[in-house]
C-alpha cells in the first residue's frame, strides 16, 4: 500500500520539475535606476518569443528602444499594462540626433550597439 505512495511522489516530483518555467520576459523600468520588471514566465523559449512579438513587436525577443519621429528620435520602453486598447510604450526621452538616443539607451538600459535590448532571459 505505501509502496505506491513513494512512486506517486516521485512521479509528481518529475511532473512538477518538467513544467517549471525556463524563460521569463523582463521589461525595463521607466526609471532606469530601478530593476527590470518580470512580466511573465514561460516553459519554452518559443512561447516567450511569440508573446514578445505579439505584445510589443519584438523580433526573436529583441526590441529596439529608439524610434524615429518627425522631430527627431524617441526613446521608449514597453508599458507594463499591455493590452491592445492602450499604447504599448511609454516615451522616456526625446533627442534630435540618433547618436544621442543610442548613447542614452546604451548607458541607461544596457542596449546593444543598435539600440536593441533582449526581453527574454533564461532561468538557470
* 15-72 residue pLDDT tens: 555 556 789 999 999 898 999 999 999 989 999 999 999 999 999 999 999 999 988 9
Q: Sign (positive/negative) of CA torsion 124, 76, 60, 55? A: positive
Number of H helices, E strands in the chain: 3, 8
The model's pTM is: 0.78
Number of domains in the chain: 1
Q: Name every residue whose Cβ is closer than 8 Å to that of residue 118 and which is 6 or more positions away in sequence.
A: 61, 62
pLDDT of residue 123: 84
Q: pLDDT higher for 23 or 6? A: 23
Q: Tell me which residue range forms the domain holding 15.
A: 2-122
Amino acid at each position: 500500500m505505501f509502496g505506491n505512495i513513494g512512486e506517486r511522489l516521485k512521479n509528481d516530483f518529475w511532473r512538477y520539475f518538467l513544467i517549471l518555467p525556463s524563460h521569463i520576459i523582463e521589461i525595463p523600468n521607466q526609471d532606469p535606476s530601478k530593476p527590470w520588471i518580470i512580466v511573465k514566465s514561460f516553459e519554452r523559449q518559443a512561447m516567450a518569443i511569440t508573446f514578445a512579438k505579439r505584445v510589443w513587436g519584438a523580433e526573436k525577443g529583441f526590441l529596439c528602444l529608439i524610434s524615429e519621429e518627425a522631430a527627431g528620435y524617441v526613446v521608449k520602453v514597453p508599458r507594463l499594462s499591455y493590452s491592445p486598447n492602450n499604447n504599448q510604450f511609454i516615451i522616456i526621452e526625446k533627442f534630435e540626433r540618433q547618436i544621442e538616443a543610442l548613447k542614452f539607451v546604451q548607458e541607461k538600459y544596457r542596449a546593444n550597439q543598435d539600440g536593441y535590448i533582449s526581453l527574454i532571459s533564461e532561468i538557470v
